[in-house]
C-alpha cells in the first residue's frame, strides 16, 4: 500500500466515530440490543467491570482444543485442561470469596467437575464431525475475516471457528461454516430461530464467500452446541442456519442501518435491556433520563 493509500485509510479511521477501521458482529449485536449502550462501549470507550466465570473459561479451553482437532485431527484434551486450570488459578479468590461466595459452599466453583465437562466435550468432537459431515476436510480453523463492506467506510472483522469442506451426495464440494457455542442443555427453539442470533453466521457466510470468491450457494452454516450438562457421546448438537439470498440481503441491511445510525449520532436507549446491562442506573445511564 502506498503512502497516499495509507493516508486515506487513516483519515477514514479517524473520521469513523469508534476510531477503528472495522466493525464486528459483537458490535452489531450490542447496537441491536441497545444502541445507547453501543455508544457507551465503542464511542465513549467506557468499559463495565468484567467478571470471569467458569462458563467462559470452560468455553475458551474447549474452543482451543476443538481448533487444534479441526486443524490437525489430533485430539488433545490437555489443551482445554491447561487453559481451564490456568484460568481457575488466576480467579480462585473470585470463585471462592468474590461476588459469588455461594459457589464455594455449593461446590459450583470446584475445578474438577469443569475439567470433566471439558474432557467429555472434546472427546465427543471426532464422532460428531464424522457423523454430521462425512468426508470432511479442514479448510480453516479460527479463520480471520477482514473484508470491505460495499459503500461503507469500514471493513467487517470476524473470526470463524471452523470452515469444513464436505462433499455432497453428488460429490460436489460444499463449505460449512461452523461456530462452536457452549451452553447448558442446548438452546430453546426461539433462540435457535432468533434473527439477531443467526446474524452472526449470515455475515460470516457473506464475507467468507466474498473473501474466497465462492458462490454463496455452495456455503452452509451451523452452530455446534457444546452442551456442558449433556451426556457423554451426545453432548454436541448441530443447529443449521438457512442463509439464502433474502437472508443475506437482510443481514447486510443491518450493517447499512447501523452505519447510518452511527453517522447521524442516533443512539436510543432500549429500556427492555437494562436488567443485565453494566451501565444500568449508573452515572452513565439513568433509568429516569
Q: Are strands 137-148 and 155-167 parallel, antiparallel or unpaired?
A: antiparallel
C-alpha grid cell, residue 96: 471462592
Residue 173 has pLDDT above 60, yes or no: yes
Q: What is the pLDDT of residue 49?
A: 65
Mean pLDDT, range 184-199, rounded to an integer: 96
* pLDDT at residue 102, rounded to an integer: 65
Cell 464422532, residue?
127
Question: Which of the residue ranges 9-18, 128-137, 177-186, 246-255 would you say has the lowest mean pLDDT?
Answer: 9-18
153 neighbors 15 (Cβ within 8 angstroms): yes
Q: Which of 75-79, 175-179, 275-279 has the lowest mean pLDDT?
A: 275-279
C-alpha pair distances (Å), 73 with each of 40, 59, 115, 161, 282: 42, 20, 21, 15, 49
Whether pLDDT at 107 is above 80: no
Mean pLDDT of 139-146: 98
* Mean confidence (pLDDT) of the chain: 90
Mean pLDDT (whole number) for 9-31: 80
pLDDT of residue 48: 66
Q: Where are the domains of the chain?
A: 54-129, 132-267
Query: What does R_g of the chain's alpha carbons equal in angstroms?
Result: 21
What value does the mean pLDDT take over residues 103-118?
A: 82
pLDDT, residue 11, reads 42
Q: What is the pTM of this model?
A: 0.91
Q: What is the pLDDT of residue 5?
A: 44
pLDDT of 1 over the 70 cut: no
Distance CA 248, CA 243 (A): 6
pLDDT at 51 (0 to 100): 74
Highest CATH level, class, for 132-267: alpha beta
Crossing angle of the two packed helices 245-264 and 195-212, in degrees rounded to 10: 100
* pLDDT tens by residue, 227-253: 999 999 999 999 999 999 999 999 999
Amino acid at each position: 500500500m502506498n503512502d497516499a493509500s495509507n493516508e486515506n485509510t487513516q483519515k477514514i479511521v479517524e473520521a469513523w466515530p469508534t476510531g477503528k477501521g472495522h466493525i464486528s458482529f459483537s458490535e452489531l449485536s450490542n447496537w441491536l440490543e441497545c444502541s445507547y449502550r453501543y455508544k457507551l462501549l465503542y464511542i465513549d470507550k467506557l468499559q463495565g467491570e468484567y467478571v470471569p466465570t467458569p462458563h467462559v473459561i470452560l468455553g475458551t479451553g474447549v474452543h482451543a482444543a476443538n481448533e487444534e482437532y479441526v486443524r490437525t485431527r489430533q485430539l488433545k484434551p490437555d489443551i482445554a485442561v491447561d487453559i481451564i486450570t490456568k484460568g481457575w488459578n488466576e480467579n480462585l479468590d473470585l470463585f471462592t470469596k468474590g461476588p459469588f461466595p455461594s459457589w464455594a459452599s455449593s461446590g459450583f466453583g470446584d475445578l474438577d467437575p469443569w475439567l470433566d465437562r471439558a474432557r467429555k466435550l472434546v472427546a465427543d468432537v471426532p464422532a460428531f464431525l464424522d457423523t454430521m459431515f462425512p468426508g470432511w476436510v479442514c479448510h480453516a480453523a479460527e479463520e480471520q475475516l477482514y473484508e470491505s463492506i460495499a459503500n461503507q467506510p469500514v471493513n467487517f472483522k470476524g473470526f470463524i471457528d471452523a470452515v469444513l469442506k464436505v462433499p455432497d451426495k453428488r460429490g460436489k464440494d460444499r463449505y460449512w461454516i461452523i461456530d462452536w457455542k457452549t451452553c447448558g442443555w442446548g438452546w430453546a427453539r426461539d433462540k435457535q430461530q432468533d434473527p439477531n442470533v443467526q446474524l452472526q453466521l449470515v455475515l460470516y457466510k457473506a464475507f467468507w464467500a466474498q473473501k474466497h470468491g465462492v458462490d454463496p450457494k455452495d456455503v452452509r452454516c451451523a452452530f455446534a452446541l457444546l452442551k456442558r450438562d449433556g451426556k457423554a457421546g451426545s453432548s454436541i448438537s448441530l443447529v443449521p442456519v438457512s442463509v439464502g439470498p433474502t437472508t443475506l440481503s437482510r443481514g447486510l441491511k443491518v450493517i447499512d442501518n447501523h452505519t447510518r445510525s452511527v453517522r447521524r449520532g442516533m443512539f436510543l436507549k432500549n429500556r427492555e435491556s437494562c436488567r443485565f446491562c453494566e451501565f444500568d442506573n449508573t452515572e452513565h445511564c439513568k433509568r429516569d433520563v
